[in-house]
Amino acid sequence: MQKRRKKKIALQVFELAVLLLLVTLLVSWHGSPLWIWIREWRSGIFVHELETNDRVIALTFDDGPDPVCTPTILDILRQEGVHATFFVEGRMLERYPDIARKELADGHVLGNHTFSHPYLERKSRGEVQNEIGLCDKSLTRILHVKTSLFRPPRGNWNPIITQEARRAGKQIILWSGAVEHQESTTPNQLVDRALRLSHPGAILLLHDGSYGQRVNTVKALPGIIQELKSRGYHFVTIP
């Protein structure tokens, strides 16, 4: 009786495993089989945080260069002796090349954030190639920079995006914490949120462009840096 029960349980486990395997192989999500999503997620192309136990943090800024906010952010970073990573849009680089040149001159790192900041996950393979490629061309032509860093708009991705990023020689840089949030509406709240999100190796997401002027981000930045310094953190770029 006991042996029959064990055999029955073993058979049920086997059947469940087979069912899960079939689901993984056959079920499609947003146009790609589930197993491809899993493969891409585990491929090593994503970076969410730095692999370290040291008290270091990477500040990253998206969507610039912006003619109002970015120069002020650069002034603050220079005054605090901090370097950051800027994920630039190709179209903004074309409009404000001198600001991007200042980013480089100040020792910051630039990454690819597509040319026009579309909903990249809704685009065809050719359109994804074009968005990554055009931004790369702007970086090379205007700044003589080649970057292996890529951040898809809004952090959204699908297997086509990961495959085309890999084809272009990119690492996809996401983040461990987004500082700007709809519930953090004042500079002090942004500082508090940044502190809560901080840990050794954290990659913090901020913005220097898009969706209007980032006034609160600019006002909060000195406090974020000074508070983190007081807690023993140092700031690094990616990579």
Average pLDDT for consecutive 10-residue bins of the chain (239 residues)?
63 52 49 82 93 97 96 98 98 98 98 98 97 98 98 96 98 97 92 98 94 84 98 96
Domain that holds residue 209: 43-236
Q: Is 234 helix (H, G, I), strand (E, B) or coil?
A: strand
- Residue 25 pLDDT: 47
Same domain, 66 and 170: yes
Query: Which CATH number belongs to the domain containing residue 202 in this structure?
Result: 3.20.20.370
**pLDDT score, position 35:** 85
pLDDT at 1: 59
Q: Which residues contact 239 (CB under 8 A, 6 or more apart)?
A: 109, 148, 149
Q: Distance between CA 189 and CA 228 in Å, rounded?
A: 15
pTM attached to this predicted model? 0.87
Instruction: Collapse the DSSP code of 176 into the 3-class scheme (helix H, G, I; strand E, B; otherwise coil) and give the result.
Output: coil
Cβ–Cβ contacts within 10 Å for residue 28, how many?
10
pLDDT score for 150: 98
User: Which residues have a catalytic role annotated?
Assistant: 62, 207
Q: What is the DSSP string of 68-98?
A: THHHHHHHHHHHHT---EEEE-HHHHHH-HH
Give which of 221, 201, 173 is closest to 70, Cα–Cα. Answer: 221
Judgement on whether residues 62 and 8 belong to the same structural domain of the protein? no
pLDDT of residue 36: 83
Q: Residues 31, 58: one domain?
A: no
Please check whether residues 105 and 220 belong to one and the same domain. Answer: yes
Contact 66, 219 (CB under 8 A): no
